[in-house]
C-alpha cells in the first residue's frame, strides 16, 4: 500500500468509523484500536526511502517520503495513540460524544502520520492542518471551559501555522521548489542571510506554537487542562511532538550550521539557533515555575510539557551529536511519560469526577495500579535514573556543558529540580495523604484502562535499562542529517552510551537501583508501619467537628487544614507577582476585539449621514492621491 493510499484511506475510514460508532461506539473504538495496531505493524515494516505522490499544486509535486525521522516520530506517536485508543474503549462511556471522538482521533492520526511523511513544505502544511483541525474538534468535547480552550488552541496554533506558511512560500519564491531537501540544498548556497534567517524563523514558528515554546505557550495550559481527559494524553504526548518535528526539520533537515555559517556564532552555535535555544530556556523557566503553582493536576502537567518542549528544543538546537540525540530521545521519553500521566489522571477523573488536587488524596489505597503507573511516569519525567527520562536529560546536559553554554545548562538543571517539585505535588496530593470520605467507594479502573498505561511504563522502563533500540534509529537519523556522522554515541556492545565527560552504563545503574530498592523494601517490611489518623474521622456527620481542635477552635473548614492546600505556599510566594504572558496575549486579543468594535461603530452602524461622509472622504483621498 502506497503511503498516500494509506493516508487517504485512513481519512475515509475515519468517516466510516463515525457511522459505525453511531451504531455502537464501542465497536468503533475497538476498530480504531485494531487500525492502530495495524498501523504500528505497517510502520515497522516500511523501508526508508519509500516515496509516493500526492498530487500537484502549481506544477509543484506534493510528495510523501519515508525517512528514518518519519519512522521514529511515527512510531512514538502511534505508541501513544494506540494506547489511548485502547484506553478509550472503556473510558469513552463517560463521554458525551464518543462517535465524533473516534472519528476525529483517527483523522488526527492520519494527519500526524502525514506530517511525518511529508517531503515538501505544503504537504506538511496540509496534514498539519488536518491534525490540528481534528484535534481542535475533540478539545471542546470536555467540560464547559474546554469550549474557550478550543478557540485559543486553534488561534495560537494557526498563528504559528500561518507564519510557517508564509515562510514556506517565501522559500518557494526564492528557491522555486517546495521540496524540503531541495530547499535545504539551495539555502546552503544562498548568500543572503536576512532572507534565510526570516525563512528559518518563520518555519520554526509553527513548531514553536505547537510544542508550546515560550511566546506561544499559553494554549497548552488551557487546552491540555480542559480537553477530554484521555485526549490530553494525545495532545501532550503526541500532538506537541508535531511541533518538535517541525523544529527538527528547520534546525536539522535544513542544516542550520552550514546555512548560517557566516553569521555570528555563540558557543559554536549560530545566532538563529541560539535564539531558539534562548526561547527554549525561557520555556523551561516559565513552564517549571508555573507548573509548581498549579492546583489543577492537568494544567500542572500541561506546564511541564512547556518545560519539556524547551528541553527538546535546546537539545536539537545545539546541533551537537550528543545534544541532538538527547533532544530527539527526549521526544520519546516525554511522549510516554506525559501520556501515562494524563491517562492516570483520566482514570482518577473517571472515578472521582474532579481534577483539583486539593479535593483529592489517598487514592493509593483505592487505585494502586494507577498510582504505580503514575509513579513510574513521573520518575521518568523528572529524569531520575533507572527510567529512560534520565538518559535524554543527561545527554542534553553533556552537550550544553561541552558547548560551554553554562547559563542554559544552569536553567536546564533548575528545570530538572523544579520538575521534582511539581511532579511530587499530584503524587502527594492525589495518591498519598488522607482519602476524602466521599471517595471511599472509589475502585480501581478496569484492566482495559490500566493495561495501556502499564505497557507504556514497561516500555519506558525497558528503554531506561536498554536504550539502544531507540538510540539506534536516532543515530541513523543523525547520520541522515549529517550531524557529525562519524561520532558514535551508543555502544550496545559495551552496554555504554559514550559522552564526552564520562560514559553511562544503564544496565549497571539499573542493577544498583534494583539492589537499593530491595534493601529499602526489606527495611520497610521490618519496621512497624505508621498509624493512620483520619482528619475527618471524629466527625459523626459531614461538617460537624467533635473533638479536633486547633488554637482552641473547632475545625469548621477541614479542607484548609488538608496539607494539599497551598502545597508549595512558601515557594510560590517568591514569585507571586510574576508578570503574566497570558495577560499580554489577552490584551492583544482584546485589542482586535476593540478594533472590531470601533470599525463596526464608526463605519457600519451609524446613520446614512456617516456613510455619505465616508464615501465622500474616500473619493477625496483617492483623488488627492491620484491627481
Partner 1 sequence: MVYAISIILIGIGIYGLMTQKNLFKHLISLSIIDTAVNIFIIATGYVEGGKAPIYTKSLPNFAIGKFVDPLPQALVLTAIVIGVGTLAVGASLLVRIREKHSSIDVENMKGVEE
Partner 2 sequence: MISLLIAIPLLLAFVSVMWKRISKSLFFLAAIVNLIILLASWFPNGVEIHAMGNWKPPFGINLVLDNASFYAVLVVNAFFFLVSLMPKFVESYGTSLMLLMAAANGFILTGDLFNSFVFMEIMTITAVTIASKRDNFYNAFKYLILGGIAGSIYLLATIFAYTATGSLNMAHVSMAAISASSLIAITTLYTIGLGVEAKLFPLNGWVSGVYGGNDLAPVILGTSVSFAALYMVGRLFGTVFHGNGAEVLYTLALITIVAGEVAALRQQNILKAFAYSSVAQAGVVVAMISKGTAKSMGLAYFHLTNDAVAKFVIFLVAGFLVYNYKNLNGVFKKHKILGASFSMATFSLIGFPLFAGFQSKLRMIMALFSMKDFLFPAVMLLATLIEVGYVVRWNVRLWFEEETQEKAETPVVASTIALILAILLVAVFLKPEIFLNGAMKMGNALADSKDYIQGVLSVVKGGM
Partner 3 sequence: MRRLYAILVGAGLVYMLFAFLGTISPYGNVNLSDRVSAHFLAKDVNSVDASKWVSGDKQIPSKMKVFGKKGFEDGSANVVTSIVVNYRSFDTLGEVTVLFASAVGVGLILGGTRRMRYGRKPNFILRVSTGILLPLIILFGVYIFVHGHLTPGGGFPGGTVIAAAVLLLYLSNEEFSLNMVVSKSLEGSMGSLYVIFGLIGLAVGGAFLFNFLPNGVVGSLFSAGVVPLVYMTIGLKVGSELSGVVAEIHEEREG
Q: How far apart, in whole angstroms, are the C-alpha atoms of residue 517 and residue 134? A: 44
Q: In this chain, which of 616, 618, 621, 622 binds partner 1, going by CB under 8 A?
A: 616
Choices 402-410, 518-526, 537-545, 607-615; region in contact with partner 2 by CB under 8 A: 607-615
Using CB under 8 A as the binding criterion, the count of chain residues that bind partner 1 stands at 7
Residue 235 or 290: the one with the smaller Cβ distance to partner 2 is 235
Which 580-619 positions form the footprint of partner 3 (CB under 8 A)?
613, 616-617, 619
- Spell out the residues 6+ positions from residue 33 whose beta carbon is closer than 8 angstroms to its own: 82, 85, 86, 89
- Spell out the residues 6+ positions from residue 238 whose beta carbon is closer than 8 angstroms to its own: 76, 77, 80, 81, 112, 335, 339
30 binds, among partner 3, partner 2, partner 1, none (CB under 5 to 8 A by kind): none
Q: How far apart, in whole angstroms, are the C-alpha atoms of residue 22 and residue 481? A: 46
- Spell out the residues 6+ positions from residue 478 whose beta carbon is closer than 8 angstroms to its own: 321, 324, 325, 328, 484, 485
Q: In this chain, which of 223, 555, 623, 625 binds partner 3, going by CB under 8 A?
A: 623
DSSP code of 95? -
- Identify whether the C-beta of residue 387 lies closer than 8 Å to the C-beta of residue 336: no
Q: How far apart, in whole angstroms, are the C-alpha atoms of residue 135 and residue 566? A: 34
Residue 420 or 611: the one with the smaller Cβ distance to partner 1 is 611
Letters for 144-183 (x = contact with partner 2 by CB under 8 A, - = none) are --xx--xx--xx--xx--xx-xx--xx-xx----------
Least gap, CB of 620 to partner 3 (angstroms) = 5
Cell of 129: 492542518
DSSP code of 604? I
Q: How far apart, in whole angstroms, are the C-alpha atoms of residue 252 and residue 248? A: 5
Letters for 560-599 (x = contact with partner 1 by CB under 8 A, - = none) are ----------------------------------------
Residue 524 or 627: the one with the smaller Cβ distance to partner 3 is 627
Read out DSSP for 481-494? HTSSTT---EEGGG
- Quick check: 627 binds partner 3 (CB under 8 A)? yes
Q: How far apart, in whole angstroms, are the C-alpha atoms of residue 292 and residue 290? A: 5
- Quick check: 194 binds partner 2 (CB under 8 A)? no
Q: Where are the beta strands (DSSP E) in 532-612?
A: 549-550, 553-554
Which 46-85 positions form the footprint of partner 2 (CB under 8 A)?
57-58
- Quick check: 620 binds partner 3 (CB under 8 A)? yes
- Quick check: 627 binds partner 1 (CB under 8 A)? no
Using CB under 8 A as the binding criterion, the count of chain residues that bind partner 3 stands at 7
β-strand 490-491 against 496-499: which pairing, if any?
antiparallel
- Quick check: 428 binds partner 2 (CB under 8 A)? no
Angle 68-91/321-352 helices, nearest 10 degrees? 10
Residue 56 or 616: the one with the smaller Cβ distance to partner 1 is 616
- Identify whether the C-beta of residue 319 lies closer than 8 Å to the C-beta of residue 248: no
Least gap, CB of 211 to partner 3 (angstroms) = 52
- Quick check: 189 binds partner 1 (CB under 8 A)? no
Q: In this chain, which of 127, 311, 376, 481 binds partner 2, going by CB under 8 A?
A: 127
DSSP 3-state percent helix, strand, coil across the chain (nearest 5)? 75, 5, 20
Exposed, middle or buried by CB within 10 Å (0-12, 13-18, 19+), for 398?
buried
165 binds, among partner 2, partner 1, partner 3, none (CB under 5 to 8 A by kind): partner 2
Q: How far apart, in whole angstroms, are the C-alpha atoms of residue 455 and residue 435? A: 28
Letters for 553-592 (x = contact with partner 2 by CB under 8 A, - = none) are ------------------------------------x--x
Q: How far apart, in whole angstroms, are the C-alpha atoms of residue 611 and residue 601? A: 12
Which 594-613 positions form the footprint of partner 1 (CB under 8 A)?
605, 607-609, 612-613
- Quick check: 618 binds partner 2 (CB under 8 A)? yes
Of 187, 456, 502, 209, the residue nearest 332 (C-alpha) = 456
Q: Which residues in this chain contact partner 3 in the complex, by CB under 8 A?
A: 613, 616-617, 619-620, 623, 627
Q: Which residues in this chain contact partner 2 in the complex, by CB under 8 A?
A: 11, 57-58, 122, 125-127, 129-130, 133, 136-137, 140-141, 146-147, 150-151, 154-155, 158-159, 162-163, 165-166, 169-170, 172-173, 589, 592-593, 595-597, 599-600, 603-608, 610-612, 614-615, 617-619, 622-623, 625-627
Amino acid at each position: 500500500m502506497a503511503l498516500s493510499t494509506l493516508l487517504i484511506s485512513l481519512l475515509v475510514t475515519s468517516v466510516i468509523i463515525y457511522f459505525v460508532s453511531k451504531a455502537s461506539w464501542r465497536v468503533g473504538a475497538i476498530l480504531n484500536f485494531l487500525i492502530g495496531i495495524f498501523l504500528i505493524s505497517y510502520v515497522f515494516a516500511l523501508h526508508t526511502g519509500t516515496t509516493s505522490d500526492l498530487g500537484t499544486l502549481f506544477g509543484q509535486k506534493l510528495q510523501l517520503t519515508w525517512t528514518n525521522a518519519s519512522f521514529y516520530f511515527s512510531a512514538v506517536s502511534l505508541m501513544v495513540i494506540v494506547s489511548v485508543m485502547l484506553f478509550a474503549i472503556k473510558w469513552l462511556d463517560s463521554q458525551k460524544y464518543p462517535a465524533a471522538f473516534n472519528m476525529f482521533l483517527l483523522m488526527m492520526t492520519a494527519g500526524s502520520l502525514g506530517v511525518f511523511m511529508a517531503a515538501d513544505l505544503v504537504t506538511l502544511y496540509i496534514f498539519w492542518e488536518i491534525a490540528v483541525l481534528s484535534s481542535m474538534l475533540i478539545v471542546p468535547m470536555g467540560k464547559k471551559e474546554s469550549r474557550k480552550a478550543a478557540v485559543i488552541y486553534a488561534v495560537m496554533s494557526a498563528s504559528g501555522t500561518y507564519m510557517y506558511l508564509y515562510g514556506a512560500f517565501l522559500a518557494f519564491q526564492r528557491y522555486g521548489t517546495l521540496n524540503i531537501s531541495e530547499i535545504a540544498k539551495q539555502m546552503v548556497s544562498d548568500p543572503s542571510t536576512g532572507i534565510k534567517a526570516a525563512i528559518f524563523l518563520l518555519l520554526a514558528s509553527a513548531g514553536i506554537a505547537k510544542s508550546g515554546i515560550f511566546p506561544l505557550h499559553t494554549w497548552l495550559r488551557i487546552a491540555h487542562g480542559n480537553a477530554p481527559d484521555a485526549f490530553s494524553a494525545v495532545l501532550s504526548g503526541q500532538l506537541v511532538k508535531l511541533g518538535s518535528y517541525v523544529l527538527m526539520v528547520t534546525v536539522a533537515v535544513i542544516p542550520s550550521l552550514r546555512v548560517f555559517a557566516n553569521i555570528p556564532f555563540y558557543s559554536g552555535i549560530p545566532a538563529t539557533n541560539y535564539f531558539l535555544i534562548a526561547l527554549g530556556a525561557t520555556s523551561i523557566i516559565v513552564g517549571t515555575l508555573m507548573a509548581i503553582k498549579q492546583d489543577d493536576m492537568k494544567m500542572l502537567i500541561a506546564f511541564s510539557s512547556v518545560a519539556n518542549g524547551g528541553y527538546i528544543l535546546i537539545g536539537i538546537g545545539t546541533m551537537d551529536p550528543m545534544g541532538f540525540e538527547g533532544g530527539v530521545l527526549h521526544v520519546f521519553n516525554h511522549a510516554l511519560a506525559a501520556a501515562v500521566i494524563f491517562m492516570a489522571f483520566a482514570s482518577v477523573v473517571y472515578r472521582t469526577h474532579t481534577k483539583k488536587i486539593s479535593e483529592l488524596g489517598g487514592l493509593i489505597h483505592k487505585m494502586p495500579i494507577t498510582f504505580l503507573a503514575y509513579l513510574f511516569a513521573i520518575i521518568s519525567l523528572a529524569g531520575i535514573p533507572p527510567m529512560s527520562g534520565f538518559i535524554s536529560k543527561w545527554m542534553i546536559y553533556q552537550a550544553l556543558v561541552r558547548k560551554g553554554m553554562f547559563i542554559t545548562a544552569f536553567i536546564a538543571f533548575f528545570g530538572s529540580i523544579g520538575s521534582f517539585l511539581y511532579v511530587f505535588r499530584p503524587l502527594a496530593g492525589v495518591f498519598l495523604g488522607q482519602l476524602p470520605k466521599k471517595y471511599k467507594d472509589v475502585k480501581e479502573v478496569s484492566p482495559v484502562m490500566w493495561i495501556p498505561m502499564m505497557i507504556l511504563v514497561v516500555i519506558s522502563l525497558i528503554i531506561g535499562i536498554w536504550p539502544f533500540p531507540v538510540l539506534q534509529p536516532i543515530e541513523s537519523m543523525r547520520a541522515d542529517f549529517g550531524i557529525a556522522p562519524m561520532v558514535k554515541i551508543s555502544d550496545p556492545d559495551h552496554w555504554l552510551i559514550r559522552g564526552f565527560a564520562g560514559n553511562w552504563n544503564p544496565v549497571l545503574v539499573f542493577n544498583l537501583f534494583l539492589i537499593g530498592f530491595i534493601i529499602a523494601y526489606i527495611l520497610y517490611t521490618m519496621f512497624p508501619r505508621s498509624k493512620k489518623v483520619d482528619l475527618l474521622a471524629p466527625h459523626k456527620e459531614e461538617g460537624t467537628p467533635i473533638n479536633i481542635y486547633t488554637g482552641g477552635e473547632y475545625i469548621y473548614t477541614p479542607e484548609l487544614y488538608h496539607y494539599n492546600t497551598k502545597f508549595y505556599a512558601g515557594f510560590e510566594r517568591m514569585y507571586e507577582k510574576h508578570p503574566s504572558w497570558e495577560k499580554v496575549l489577552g490584551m492583544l486579543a482584546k485589542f482586535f476585539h476593540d478594533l472590531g468594535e470601533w470599525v463596526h461603530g464608526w463605519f457600519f452602524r451609524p446613520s446614512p449621514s456617516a456613510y455619505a461622509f465616508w464615501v465622500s472622504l474616500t473619493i477625496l483621498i483617492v483623488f488627492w492621491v491620484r491627481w
